[in-house]
């Protein structure tokens, strides 16, 4: 059964899953599929770092024909702008227009100008992750969905996770409000899958099943951004390589990624400071990522 949007007079429907050492469980219906939104950045970053391990890419080499490095792209310190602030972009999605071409979207975003020289600031950029995606595809000779499948999904035995490429796939998602959405608007690409498989990806990352220890250390090295954010649980904010990394009060550190689109949000986080370190994924409808983050923290406290 699909889930409709949250109404003003009803409690949000939270689909959650937890994974700890030796046990897992949650309330997400079997077979239910959700868009992972920006949690896809974590998967893209893992793939890039696995190519670094194999010496196909280098973290601190300048990307060909650009001024920034792979590390700077993954950490949002490249200085590239983003397309999310563009009113024309949001209006085109709302109007169910045909997704813009790569050239049109890049031209619209880059018209804002470079925000700062590489490593001289921090600004979230979906454009940057499109460059990472293209670098991975050029290096492997394969589309990003195939790379994620080969490097993450197959080794972990994940059955539900797929690269979201067509509006036809949208019909398989749990949210009614997804109908008609074209995933090509997510410029770096987007995964869909179960709530449980989202936790399994992140939990495997923190248990040395995806990256070598030294590579994981590189991934976890973060750029400190600041303090509390209104409407969200963060008391300290930072960004690592494809991972939001900060503190959420008494629960301690939270490392993972939030995501959101026009009709749903999610929060997928590992809480390493809990007595029994736990990975929590929480998915719900709406557009406020803080709602999913707060629920994920609530669940982590109860484990």
124-149 pLDDT per residue, tens = 999 999 999 999 999 999 999 999 99
Among 128, 140, 148, which residue's Cα sits nearest to residue 63? 128
Nearest-angstrom CA–CA distance, 194 and 192: 7
- pLDDT category of residue 7 using cuts at 50, 70 and 90: very low
Average pLDDT, the chain: 94
Contact of 250 with 280, CB cutoff 8 Å: no
Q: How confident is the model at residue 22, as a pLDDT?
A: 82
Number of Cβ within a 10 Å radius of residue 207: 14
**Quick check: 40 pLDDT over 70?**
yes
Task: Say whether domain 15-302 belongs to CATH 3.40.50.720.
Answer: no
Among 265, 275, 287, which residue's Cα sits nearest to residue 39? 265
Single pTM value for the model: 0.95
Q: Percentage of residues in the chain with pLDDT exceeding 90?
A: 90
Q: How confident is the model at residue 8, as a pLDDT?
A: 39
Tens digit of each residue's pLDDT (9 = 90 or more) over 21-36: 889 999 999 999 999 9
Nearest-angstrom CA–CA distance, 291 and 285: 9
What integer is the mean pLDDT of 108-137?
97
Domain boundaries, the chain: 15-302
Higher pLDDT, 7 or 185: 185
How far does CA 110 lie from the centroid of its chain?
22
Q: Percentage of residues in the chain with pLDDT exceeding 70?
A: 97
Higher pLDDT, 23 or 210: 210
Q: Work out the angle between the directed axes of helices 126-140 and 102-110 (0-180°, nearest 10).
A: 140
16, β-bridge pairs: 282
Nearest-angstrom CA–CA distance, 214 and 233: 30
**Quick check: 176 pLDDT over 70?**
yes
């Amino acid at each position: 059964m699909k889930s409709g949007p949250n109404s003003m007079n009803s409690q949000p429907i939270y689909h959650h899953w937890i994974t700890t050492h030796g046990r897992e469980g949650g309330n997400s219906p079997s077979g239910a599929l959700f868009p992972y939104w920006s949690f896809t950045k974590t998967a893209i970053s893992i793939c890039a770092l696995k190519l670094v391990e194999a010496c196909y890419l280098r973290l601190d080499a300048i990307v060909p024909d650009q001024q920034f490095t792979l590390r700077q792209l993954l950490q949002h310190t490249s200085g590239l702008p983003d397309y999310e602030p563009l009113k024309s972009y949001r209006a085109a999605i709302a109007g169910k227009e045909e997704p813009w071409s790569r050239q049109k979207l890049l031209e619209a975003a880059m018209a804002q100008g470079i925000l700062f020289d590489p490593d001289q600031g921090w600004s979230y950029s979906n454009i940057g992750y499109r460059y990472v995606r293209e670098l991975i595809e050029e290096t492997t000779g394969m589309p990003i969905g195939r790379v994620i499948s080969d490097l993450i999904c197959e080794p972990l035995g994940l059955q539900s996770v797929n690269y979201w490429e067509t509006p036809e796939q949208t019909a398989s998602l749990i949210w009614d409000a997804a109908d008609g959405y074209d995933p090509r608007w997510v410029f770096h690409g987007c995964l869909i899958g179960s709530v449980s498989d989202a936790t399994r990806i992140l939990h495997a990352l923190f248990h040395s099943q995806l990256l070598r220890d030294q590579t994981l250390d590189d991934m976890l090295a973060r750029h400190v951004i600041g303090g509390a954010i209104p409407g969200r649980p963060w008391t300290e904010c930072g960004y690592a390589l494809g991972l939001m990394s900060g503190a959420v009060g008494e629960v301690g550190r939270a490392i993972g990624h939030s995501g959101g689109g026009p009709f749903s949000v999610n929060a997928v986080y590992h809480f390493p400071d809990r007595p029994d370190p736990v990975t929590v994924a929480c998915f719900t409808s709406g557009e406020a990522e803080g709602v999913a983050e707060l629920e994920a923290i609530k669940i982590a406290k109860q484990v």
